[in-house]
Each structure stands twice: as structure tokens, then as C-alpha cells.
Amino acid sequence: MSFLFDVNEQADLAKDLCTELNAQLGKMTLRQFPDGEYYVRCLEDVKNQDCFILCHLHQPNTKALAIIFLTETLKELGAKSVNLIAPYLAYMRQDIRFHDGEGISSRYFAKLLSQYVDSLITVDPHLHRYHSLSEIYSITATALTAVQPIAEYIRQHVNNPVVIGPDGESEQWAKSVALAANCPYEVLTKERFGDRDVKVSLPHVDNYRDHTPVLVDDIISTGKTMMQAAQHLTQAGLPTPVCVAVHAVFAAGAAEEMQAQGLTVVTCDSIPHNTNAISLATLIAQGLKSN
Ligand code: R5P
């Protein structure tokens, strides 16, 4: 018997994963005192059992501490292994010292988690300047990709699609998704002048006027990247695009702003959000089984 402990109440994903992995949903108490400190209590006999902790790491700072305390608790109770399922892995974007004196938080976060959990599995971490998680994680760290579930969504829901990556960094998803969905793709270029100030170049889309554009990216945060790309596409005479992202990071008000512009926004369920329409349960379960 193995146990899965669901830290963030991702109930559907947790239930599906338990079914696929033949694991039991672990009972525990994890709460915060009024001063914010965590109280952790495991209510299962985990001695000699493999344990999984399901915890997306959006807004990661307190969640990381919850993972560490739960992991230590499970290990002290004799768990055979403690394995982190983090459908969204945080702290991957600061992967270089962009300016003198900056910390490279991706490395520090990886070093921290690697000291506690035995393994990590995630979906489409932001591997831009790193080629693999093993460059910063010293534990077994598996990066799955949502390419197939996204391609399946496009095949089922979008008529005559052309996949569009809103910037160079998104090319890895756009190209693979297009290949899997058996449709063409284009990639735009992007310049960022500040957190909320992004300029996207005009694309060469003359060949695709009768297609439905599907913008694909790993993350939507402020939504500026997607909204500007969408604006250029509609100005170029294409239909309003469908915006698909793996991770629904969404800064405050971003999803509403996108929807107010008439955009259809679809995300995978790595981070719970009302735009979730693509389940990652099967992908993650298969990844865990083949580990
Ligand atoms: C960039 O590195 C990522 O791939 C996304 O393009 C980015 O995080 C999207 O950010 P925003 O929604 O704030 O434009």
C-alpha cells in the first residue's frame, strides 16, 4: 500500500492519481496557527510505505515549508520513501543572473527540496537555460510534458488549428504540440520592458487566414504575452485565438482581463483554476509508474 497526501486540496487530481496508482488518500492534519506557523499530523500508519505528496508550487513560499514539515514527519514515522508530485514547479524562471548581484533562486530552491524529498515529478518546468532538472536537482527529478494532453484537446475542440507560440521561449511547446496535433505552427518574438510591459512582433500568418489560431505557452501570469499576441493576430485578420497554457499562474485580474477581451482561455489542471480543462492525471500517473 502507498499513500498520497494532498497538500493543496487538488481533490480531483488526487483522487484520479490514487486510482491510477492504487494508492490510498492519506489522512492528515495540516493547518496554520493564527501566527502562520504550520501544525502537521499524519493520521496513517506509513511505516515501510511509499508516500507521495501532491502539492503544486504556485505561491511557493509557505507550501515549500509545508512539504518539508510533512516529509520530515513521514520519514520519522518510518515511511520507505517520500516523493513529491509538484504538477507546477516554482522558481524555475530565475535561471541566470540577469543583473549584477542577483540571486539565482532556481538553484537555491532545488537545493532546498533536494535535501528533503526522495524524488520529484513535475510537468513542463520552465526549462529555458537549463536543459534538464538534473542540472539543479540532486534527487531523481522527472520533467513530464503536457504536449500530448494539449494536442488531444486541440484535436477534439479546435477546427483547422494553427498553433502559435507567443515568443521564442514557447517554441518548444508550440512545435511539439503542433506535431502531435498534426497541424502547422508559427512562433512570434517578444521583448519585455518590465513585469507588465511586453511587446510582441507581428507574425507572418498570411498562410493561415482560414485557420483557428491556438496560442500555446507554458505559463500565463499577467496574461500580457498572450493578450498582445492575440491582438496582433486579430489585427492581422485572423479569428480570435484560443489561448492554451500548461500552468494557470494568473496574476490578480489577469484571467478576467483576458476573458473581457473575448479570449477563450484553457489551462491544464496543474494549478487549480476555473480555466482548467485539460487533466494531467493520466500523464502524471504514467510518469510515476515508469519511474
Ligand atoms: C516566459 O518566460 C514564459 O514562458 C511565459 O511566456 C510568461 O511567463 C508569460 O508571462 P505573462 O503572462 O506575464 O506575459
- Tens of pLDDT, residues 171-217: 878 999 999 999 999 998 766 777 777 666 655 767 888 999 999 99
Give CA–CA dist 262/178, Å, rounded. 24
Residue pair 152/161 in contact by the 8 Å Cβ criterion: no
Please tell me the predicted confidence (pLDDT) of residue 1: 80
Alpha-carbon distances of 279 from 24, 85, 87, 99, 270, rounded to whole Å: 20, 15, 11, 38, 8
Please tell me the predicted confidence (pLDDT) of residue 199: 64
120 exposed, middle or buried (CB, 10 Å; 0-12, 13-18, 19+)? buried
Query: What number is the average pLDDT over the span 141-164?
Result: 97
Higher pLDDT, 193 or 265: 265
**Torsion sign across C-alpha atoms 51, 57, 62, 68:** positive
Please tell me the predicted confidence (pLDDT) of residue 203: 57
Query: What number is the average pLDDT over the span 26-31?
Result: 97
Residue pair 13/269 in contact by the 8 Å Cβ criterion: yes
Give the Å distance between the CA of 166 and the centre of ligand 1.
Answer: 9
Q: Is 227 in the pocket of ligand 1 (CB under 6 A)?
A: no
Residue 107 pLDDT exceeds 60? yes
The one-letter amino acid code at 203 reads P
Alpha-carbon distances of 194 from 42, 155, 191, 219, rounded to whole Å: 44, 35, 9, 17
DSSP state at residue 142? E
Residue pair 73/42 in contact by the 8 Å Cβ criterion: yes
| Segments in 33-83 forming alpha helices (H) | 60-76
Query: Which residue puts its alpha carbon closest to atom 5 of ligand 1?
Result: 219
Residue pair 26/46 in contact by the 8 Å Cβ criterion: yes
C-beta atoms surrounding 257 within 10 Å: 16
> How many residues comprise the chain?
291
Query: What number is the average pLDDT over the span 74-87?
Result: 98
Give CA–CA dist 287/285, Å, rounded. 5
Residue 146 pLDDT exceeds 60? yes
Residues 6 or more apart from 34 whose CB is under 8 A from it?
none
Please tell me the predicted confidence (pLDDT) of residue 82: 98
Q: Is 220 in the pocket of ligand 1 (CB under 6 A)?
A: yes
Give CA–CA dist 110/141, Å, rounded. 10
DSSP state at residue 129? S
Give the Å distance between the CA of 265 and the centre of ligand 1.
Answer: 15
Could you please report the per-residue DSSP string of 175-219? HHHHHHHT--EEE--EEEEETTEEEEPPP--GGGTTSEEEEEEEE
- Which percentage of the chain shows pLDDT scores above 90? 81
Best of 218, 263, 265, 267 to mutate for ligand 1, by most ligand atoms within 8 A of CB?
Answer: 218
Which H or E run includes 81? Answer: strand 81-86
Please tell me the predicted confidence (pLDDT) of residue 86: 98
Please tell me the predicted confidence (pLDDT) of residue 208: 87
Q: What is the CA radius of gyration of the chain?
A: 20
Please tell me the predicted confidence (pLDDT) of residue 200: 62
Give the Å distance between the CA of 47 and the centre of ligand 1.
Answer: 42
Q: b/e string for 148-173 if b means 16 or more Cβ within 10 A?
A: bbbbebbeebbeebbbbbbbebbebb
Query: What number is the average pLDDT over the span 150-155?
Result: 98
